Structure 1
Amino acid sequence: MLERIHLEILSAIKEHGTLTKAADSLHLSQSALSHSIKKLESQVATQIWKKEGRNLRLTAAGERIQTLASRVLPQFSHTELLLSQIAKGEAGALRIGMECHPCYQWLLRVIHPYLQRWPNIDMDVKQEFQFGALGALLSYEIDVLITPDPLFKPQINYIPVFGYEHRLVVCAEHKLADQEFVLPEQLAQEVLFSYPVEPLRLDIFSQFLNPAKCSVKKHKNIETTEIMLQMVAANRGVCALPGWLVDEHAKSMPIKSLRFGEKGINKQIYVGIRNKEQQIEYLMDFISQAKKTK
């Protein structure tokens, strides 16, 4: 009854809105698309789409099928890619999604020895997810998710690879620079630089400022670690970063790091994979390399 072509047609209609554009995207004729859906409508005894001028609108039944398509089609593509690689004698593909902005430099240290051991692995790193990468992992758009903030799901296994302390970064000449730790109220007059992430997902807010009902004078987003640290080194504001990353840059920059409160904020980097893929050798070797890289 339901065939892959039906899923592809409804996904194309959902994306493009018209029969003409959907047909062009699938490299099929409009009559072929219409005939395929009319046949399906006859089989299920219900309408799949309705015409609204030049546009097509999916009915409730059509929306159900399209929802299925959004889950299943990426799995088809993923499996076909793996089969193609097997046929060519290639080992496989590793698509990595990053939710940890400052972890890119750490990842480079993981990738270098890994690629030397797996020369036939095709690798891609996607950083644009921010906090939407879990859906990409579940829908087979990526194979590995690197995150300090796992959202636990039954289908996903999160493996901790290394722990670190999240720290406040200040200029070496900042008034707080000589302290071992900072209190929430001491940041009330500070400009805080952070990556462009929702404030509620930033540890400095969720684990430090918000519980104490405190805030900062101003909050500015900066996309790159290097520019952020240059701004801090110039005493234009403060930021919060993993301690290991700050220690690396402190060797060549006038910056210092402080603990958040007396106990600090301790974090863990996790590698998330789909449960059914724990037997894939090259995938597990990536996790093994991640655990050895600090």
Structure 2
Amino acid sequence: MLERHHLAILEATDRLGTLTQAANALCLTQSALSHGIKKLEGQLGVALWERDGRRLRLTAAGRHALAFAQRMLPQFADLENDLAQYAKGLQGSLRIGMECHPCYRWLVGVMQPFLSAWPKVDIDVRQRFQFGGLGALLGHDIDLLVTPDPVYKRQLQYTPVFDYELVLVVAANHRLADKTHVEPRDLGPETLFTYPVETARLDIFSQFLNPAGASVYRHTPLEATDVMLQLVANGRGITALPRWLVEEYQPRLSLKSLRLGQDGLFKQLFVGIRQSDRDVPYIQAFIQHARPDSVPLVAT
């Protein structure tokens, strides 16, 4: 059977011309190399070399086999290098699930420097897990989960990456716009736009309206942040979003952000991984890139 070391013998004898030089290059004795040649020709039933004085010359069959060897040997070398990179955690694929819909803009800002620092690591953002990533992380469908609501399990590890404030967003000329903060009862007559998530997972309900026994006139789920804020700016309703995201839109839309309650509603964004992956270098590097107060790791 033709094997990789046979291809290496073909390439070395053709490149160097003599058994002695080829044997030295392959760290073999000359007798071992000669035996290997004869055994290979016997197995294949065809001569690959012919002698020309002290040199070996490839036959037509040998030249055909050499062309294959010249294609395959570099691919073997590349594969070995890639596998070594995987073994060191310098190469791979990072599948990210999102449970924070407005955080896609934040993710884009994290990805750019990470991809530059880790050129052999691919990133795949799995949108279908954006509102239920725990099972995907435990089931190995994703490698990293971005969430403001970590569910702690023995197999998982969560790292806080930044703090943010959830604020109410209204039009600049809205009836509530002059307030410094709003109370749950203030939202009674309003149409509230949210992302399409069950209300139990929406902080505006679970941490603001529901504890006070309050509600809104209408709850309308919307997928797109841009559409949601255009509607708010035109007085069609209100929404609740991270303050940093609202501030990105305020230069081009007439929006006002209001504190939810006198003390505000503050959250943390977490990155969750499996405990078994905590020592993978590029996963740790992504977490460090996600934390604004840390020095990111760089592939070497």
CA contact (8 A) 1:147 1:269 kept: yes
Aligned to 2:152: 152
Aligned to 1:27: none
TM-score, normalising length: structure 1: 0.69
Aligned to 1:279: 279
Q: Distance in 2 between matches of 1:85 and 1:194?
A: 48
CA contact (8 A) 2:146 2:272 kept: yes
CA 1:212–1:131 in structure 2 vs 1: closer, same or farther (change >3 Å)?
Answer: same
Q: Distance in 2 between matches of 1:85 and 1:191?
A: 58
SS of the residue corresponding to residue 154 of structure 1 reads coil
The one-letter code sitting in structure 2 at the alignment partner of 1:113 is P
| Unpaired runs of at least 5, structure 1 | 1-82
- Identical residues among aligned pairs (%): 54
Aligned to 2:257: 257
Aligned to 1:162: 162
- Residue 229 (1) aligns with residue 229 (2): yes
The 5 Å alignment of 1:195-234 reads 195-234=195-234
Q: Distance in 1 between matches of 2:203 and 2:217?
A: 17
Q: Distance in 2 between matches of 1:102 and 1:127?
A: 12
Aligned to 2:134: 134
CA 1:204–1:84 in structure 2 vs 1: closer, same or farther (change >3 Å)?
Answer: farther
Aligned to 1:87: 83
SS of the residue corresponding to residue 93 of structure 2 reads strand
Q: Distance in 1 between matches of 2:195 and 2:210?
A: 18
Shift of 1:189: 0.2
Q: Distance in 2 between matches of 1:225 and 1:132?
A: 19
Shift of 1:196: 0.2
Shift of 1:85: 9.2
SS of the residue corresponding to residue 95 of structure 1 reads strand
Q: Distance in 1 between matches of 2:170 and 2:275?
A: 41
| CA offset digits 1:159-216 (Å, max 9, x no partner) | 0000000000000000111111001111000000000000111001001100110100
Aligned to 1:119: 119
Q: Distance in 2 between matches of 1:182 and 1:150?
A: 27
Aligned to 2:270: 270
Shift of 1:130: 3.5
Q: Distance in 2 between matches of 1:150 and 1:292?
A: 20
| Unpaired runs of at least 5, structure 2 | 1-78, 294-300
Paired residues, number: 212
| CA offset digits 1:55-99 (Å, max 9, x no partner) | xxxxxxxxxxxxxxxxxxxxxxxxxxxx99943856111000001
The one-letter code sitting in structure 1 at the alignment partner of 2:172 is A
CA 1:89–1:231 in structure 2 vs 1: closer, same or farther (change >3 Å)?
Answer: same
Aligned to 2:289: 289
| CA offset digits 1:82-138 (Å, max 9, x no partner) | x99943856111000001000000000000010001111111001222332111111
SS of the residue corresponding to residue 146 of structure 2 reads strand
Q: Distance in 2 between matches of 1:289 and 1:233?
A: 33
Shift of 1:232: 0.2
Q: Distance in 2 between matches of 1:208 and 1:220?
A: 17
- Residue 187 (1) aligns with residue 183 (2): no
The one-letter code sitting in structure 2 at the alignment partner of 1:185 is R
| CA offset digits 1:252-289 (Å, max 9, x no partner) | 11001001110111000000001121111111010001
Q: Distance in 2 between matches of 1:110 and 1:284?
A: 13
CA contact (8 A) 1:156 1:274 kept: yes
Greater gyration radius: 2
CA 1:85–1:190 in structure 2 vs 1: closer, same or farther (change >3 Å)?
Answer: farther
SS of the residue corresponding to residue 128 of structure 1 reads helix
Q: Distance in 2 between matches of 1:221 and 1:136?
A: 24
CA contact (8 A) 2:100 2:131 kept: no
Q: Distance in 1 between matches of 2:124 and 2:84?
A: 19
